[in-house]
Amino acid sequence: MILSARRPIGVSLALALCAGVLAGFQLLVAPVAHSAAVTDFDPGYIISDAVMYDTGTMSSSSVQTFLDAKGAYCSPASGSTCIKSYRETTPSRTADSLCPRSYAGASNESAASIIYKVSVACGINPQVLLVTLQKEQGLITSTAGKTSYTYSRALGFGCPDNVGGWCDPTYAGFANQVYSAAKQLKRYAANPTSYSYRASRTNTVQYHPNTACGTSGVYIENQATASLYNYTPYRPNAAALAAGYGSGDSCSSYGNRNFHLYFSAWFGGPVNRTPVGVIDSVTSDAGTGTVSVRGWALDPDTTASINVHVYVDGVAVRATKASTSRPDVGAVYGLGNAHGFDTTITTSTGTHTVCAYALDSTSGNSSLGCTTVSVTNLTPKGTLDSATGTPGGIAVRGWAFDPDTSEAIDVHMYVDGKSVKSVKASSSRSDVGRAYGVSSNHGFSATVPASDGKHTVCAYAINVPSGGNPLIGCKTVTVTNLPPKGNIDAVTSPAPGSVKVRGWVFDPDSSDAVSVHVYVDGKRTSIITANSPRSDVARAYGVGSSHGFDATIPVTRGDHSVCFYAIDTSRGANPYLGCRTVTVANSLPTGAVSSAEGVPAMVGGGGTAAQGSSLKVVGWASDFDTTAKVDVWLQVDGVTQSAVQTTTEVAGAGTTGFTLTAPVSQGDHQACVLARDPDTRDVVELGCNDVEVPNTAATGVVDSITTGSGTVSVRGWAFDLDTTSAVDVHVYVGSSLVGSVKADASRTDVDKAYGVGANHGFSKTFAASKGTAQVCLYVIGSPRGTGNPTLGCETVTVS
C-alpha cells in the first residue's frame, strides 16, 4: 500500500475519450485540478457499505471499455504493458465462505476479465478494484504501461509499507493480487473484531508510517471504511488534502486520499455517488425560436433513469427524464441504456446561456455544464385583403403565416384601436402557398362586431413563439344596421293569473329568430323567441316563415301595462313594438299536502310531560296574485283542530310551506287542509288524507306479589298513553279472575320517570284458596280491544 502521490488525470485524456471512444461522449466528470484542495474527504466515512459490495456496477465488457478509454494514450515503453492490453493465464479457484462463487481460470485472460470475475466471485465492486489498482500503482492511467514486476504486486497485497518494498511471493501475479486483495476486504468484514480498525468506534489512526508524524482520533462509521483503513492504515494530513492530487509534506500519506479522489472523479463518489453526464449539444435552428438540448446523465447508485433540469439564463425552463436509449453509455457504465435526453424548449431571440443539471436519485444534483447559444426569430408575413361593412359587424379576409413554424398562427383584429377578436389563419389559400413556398392553409375570414357608423379595422399577425406582432393592414369601413320590424297582434288574459301575448318580429339583417323582451308595469318579466310559424309575415316581407311568437306569461290579478321590445341581432338599437293594457282576474290560492301521518303517543320524563297521540300534516300553499303569505288550518273528521297558521318560506322550494299538528285519539281519521285567499278571503280546500294514528300499548310494572292466610296482595303501577284516565289491572290466580284494581294511587316516581302524572299506582289484597298457584296481572288497554299486556306473573303459595 504505497504512500506516494499520484498525478491527476490529464485534460488530454478527457479529450481522448471524446475523440477515440464515443463520439460526442465525455466518459467521466472532470477530476479535481492538480492544485485544488480536497474539501469533501470524510476520514470516518470514505465509502459506503452499499458501494463497496455492489458487484452489478460494471460488466466485463464495460470494464474493458473503461480501461480502453482511460488508457487511450498509453503507448508501452520497452518491457512494459498497458493494462488495457495486459493478459495472463489464470488458475481456477473454488468457492469458500469469503469468496462464495468459484473462479473459472482461463488461458490468456484479459485484465478486464480478471477484474470482473474476481468482483463476482468475492462480492466486491469492480469499481473499488479499479480505483485500488490506480491508487496503488497508477496502472489505469499510465501512459507508458507497467513492467511485469509492477503487475506482480499490482494491488500492494502482501507488501507492507514498513519493510522497504519487499512483497510476499505467495501473492505475486496480477490475478493473484486482485483475487487476494478482494478476498482480504471480505475477510475484514467477516472478522471485524480481529483487526485494528473497527466500525462504530473512535480509532487512533496514524498520518504516516513514521510515528513521529502523529495520530488522530477517527470515528469510523461503517465496515467498508474500516476495511480500507485495515488495508491502508493511514489517513491524509492537512498538507495532503491541500495538495489535491499532488504531494504534501514529509508526513503526508496518499492512499485513502487518492481512493476518494479517483472514485469521485470516475464513478461519482464512493458514499452517495453524485450523478454524472454530459451535454452533447445545444443547438437552435434559424428562425425557430427554440433551443434543442441533447446529452446523457445517470446516477451511479441506480439503474433507473433520472431527471435533468434545464435552465436558460439562470431560470428553470424544463424538467425532462434522461430515459432515451444510449447504448454507448450503457456499454461503459453497465447501468442499462435508458440514460439519454433530447429536449426542445421555446425561448426569445438573442444570446442565451443554457445549463443542465442531473438530479441525484436521493438528494442533490450535479452540473452537466453550460453552453451559450444564439436564437433567431423570423417576423410573420400577411395581408388584410378586404374589410366590408355588414349589419352589426365587419367582414374581414386575408392571410398570414410565420416562417418559424408550419402551424397556423393567430391574427388579432382591432376596431378603432380596441381588440375585438382573435382569428386563426388556417383556411385554404393556395396562392399564398405557391408564392411563399409554404403550405396552403394560411388564410382567414371572419366577421368582427362593430356598431353603426364609420370604423377603422386593423389586423396584426401574432409572432410564434414570441417577438413583435406586425401590422398586416388597416381598412376604413362604414357599418349600416337595419332595426328589427314587428307587431303586437293580441294581449289577453284567458285565465286568472296569466296573460297571453301574440305577434311577430324579424330582423332584416339576419335570418335568425329575434328575442322579444316583455315588460309588465315597467319590469322585464319574460324573454320570448319569435320562431313560431307565420306564413303571412313571410309573404308580406319576403322573409322566412318562422318569425311569430305566441306565449303565456304569469301575471298577478288587476290592471297591467304590457310592453314589448325587439332585440337587434347585430347589437344595435332595440326598437319598441308597443304596449297594451290588460285586466287579469284573481287566482285562488293553490297548494298541496306533501305528507300526513299519525304520531303515536310518547313518554316524557326528566321534567318533560308525556305527549299524546297526534296528527302531523306538511305541505305548501301560495297565491300567485300577491306576495302575502297564505293562512292555512287543519280539519280532522270535519272539525277544525288547529288554529290558523301563516305559511313560512321553505328554502329552495319556490313555494311557501306549512306544518300543522293536532292532538287526536288512536284510530282512523280524515285530515283536510284549508287555505284563505289573502285578498278575497275565499276559502279553498288544498287536500284531504286518510290517516291512521297508531295505538300505544299500555304498560306497567308489578312491584310485588305477596300472600297471607287465604289472601294474595299485589302492588305496582300502570298507565296507557292513549288516555289520561287511570287504567284497570286484572288479577288472575291460576285461571280464575279474582278481581281488578284501578291504577290511580299516587306514584311520584312514575311521573318523574315518564312524565305521565303521579296517579298511576295500585295496591290491593284479594281472597285466594290455599295452595300453590300462579298469580298473573294484566293491564286493560284503552280503548277497549287494543290489547291487554301482561304486567307479570309469579308462582306463590297461599297458606
What's the pTM value of the predicted model, to 2 decimals? 0.40
- Provide the pLDDT for residue 652: 36
Mean pLDDT, the chain cut into blocks of 10 residues (799 residues total): 37 29 27 65 91 92 96 95 97 97 97 98 96 94 95 87 74 95 96 95 96 96 94 95 94 94 88 83 80 90 87 93 93 87 86 91 78 86 92 90 89 95 94 91 92 91 85 92 91 90 91 94 94 94 93 90 92 89 86 88 83 87 77 89 63 62 88 86 89 90 94 94 90 92 93 91 93 94 81 92
Q: Which residue has the cell 513514521?
A: 210
Name the DSSP letter for residue 18: I
Q: What angle do CA 423, 429, 431 make, to 5 degrees?
A: 140
Q: Which residue has the cell 382591432?
A: 414
Q: Where in the chain is the domain with CATH 2.60.40.10?
A: 276-375, 381-479, 485-584, 590-693, 699-798
CATH superfamily of domain region 590-693:
Immunoglobulins (2.60.40.10)
Q: How far does CA 26 lie from the centroid of its chain?
A: 39
Q: Is 77 left (phi over 0), alpha (psi -120 to 50) or beta?
A: beta
Angstrom distances, CA of residue 296 to CA of 18, 323, 338, 340, 653: 14, 9, 9, 4, 66
Which strand (E) or helix (H) includes residue 132? helix 126-137
- Residue 573 CA to residue 485 CA, distance in Å, equals 12
- Residue 300 CA to residue 468 CA, distance in Å, equals 46
Fill in the amino acid letter for 644.
Answer: V
CA dihedral 48, 49, 55, 57 (to 10 degrees): -20
Number of Cβ within a 10 Å radius of residue 752: 13
Contacts 24+ apart (CB under 8 A), 743-747: 743/700, 743/716, 743/717, 743/718, 743/719, 743/779, 747/717
- Provide the pLDDT for residue 19: 28
Q: What angle do CA 59, 265, 237 make, to 5 degrees?
A: 125
- Residue 72 CA to residue 786 CA, distance in Å, equals 111
Q: Which three cell numbers stand for residue 167?
A: 512483497
Q: What is the DSSP string of 246-289?
A: S---TT---HHHHHHHHHHHHHS-SSSPPPEEEEEEEE--TTB-
CATH superfamily of domain region 485-584:
Immunoglobulins (2.60.40.10)
Strand order in the sheet with 759-767: 699-708, 711-719, 759-767, 745-746
Listed in order, strand segments (DSSP E) in 493-522 are 498-506, 514-520
Beta bridge partners of 683: 676
Contact indicator for 744, 592 with CB cutoff of 8 Å: no
Listed in order, strand segments (DSSP E) in 313-409 are 315-321, 324-325, 338-346, 350-359, 365-375, 381-390, 393-401
- Residue 97 CA to residue 114 CA, distance in Å, equals 20
Beta bridge partners of 553: 499
Q: Is the peptide bond before 783 cis (omega within 30 degrees of 0)?
A: yes
Angstrom distances, CA of residue 366 to CA of 97, 269, 273, 344, 356: 39, 12, 10, 21, 9
- Provide the pLDDT for residue 4: 37
Number of Cβ within a 10 Å radius of residue 75: 10
Tell me the Cα Rg of the chain.
52
- Provide the pLDDT for residue 669: 92
- Residue 297 CA to residue 396 CA, distance in Å, equals 53
CA dihedral 15, 18, 19, 21 (to 10 degrees): 120
Report the half-sphere exposure of 240 (CA within 13 A, side-chain side).
Answer: 25
Beta bridge partners of 315: 312
Contacts 24+ apart (CB under 8 A), 197-205: 197/226, 197/229, 197/230, 197/233, 198/226, 199/223, 199/225, 199/226, 203/229, 205/43, 205/229, 205/233, 205/234, 205/235
* Percent helix, strand and coil across the chain, each to the nearest 5: 15, 40, 40
Number of Cβ within a 10 Å radius of residue 171: 19
Number of Cβ within a 10 Å radius of residue 607: 7
CA dihedral 189, 193, 194, 199 (to 10 degrees): 60
Q: Is the peptide bond before 494 cis (omega within 30 degrees of 0)?
A: no
**By C-alpha distance, which of 487, 670, 453, 450 is closest to 566?**
487
Fill in the amino acid letter for 777.
Answer: L
Beta bridge partners of 373: 352
**By C-alpha distance, which of 752, 689, 759 is closest to 723?**
759
Beta bridge partners of 329: none
Q: What is the largest CA-CA distance in the chain?
A: 140
**By C-alpha distance, which of 167, 111, 107, 169 is closest to 139?**
111
SS (H, E, C) 197-240: CCCCEEEEEECCCCHHHCEEEEEECCHHHHHHHHHCCECCCHHH
Contact indicator for 413, 396 with CB cutoff of 8 Å: yes
Q: Which three cell numbers stand for residue 214?
A: 502523529
- Residue 12 CA to residue 670 CA, distance in Å, equals 108
Q: How far does CA 184 lie from the centroid of its chain?
A: 52
* Overall fold of domain 381-479: Immunoglobulin-like (2.60.40)
**By C-alpha distance, which of 751, 443, 494 is closest to 606?**
751
CATH of domain 699-798: 2.60.40.10
Which strand (E) or helix (H) includes residue 418? strand 418-424
Q: Which residue has the cell 485544488?
A: 36
- Provide the pLDDT for residue 644: 65
CATH of domain 276-375: 2.60.40.10
- Provide the pLDDT for residue 163: 60
Contact indicator for 348, 375 with CB cutoff of 8 Å: yes
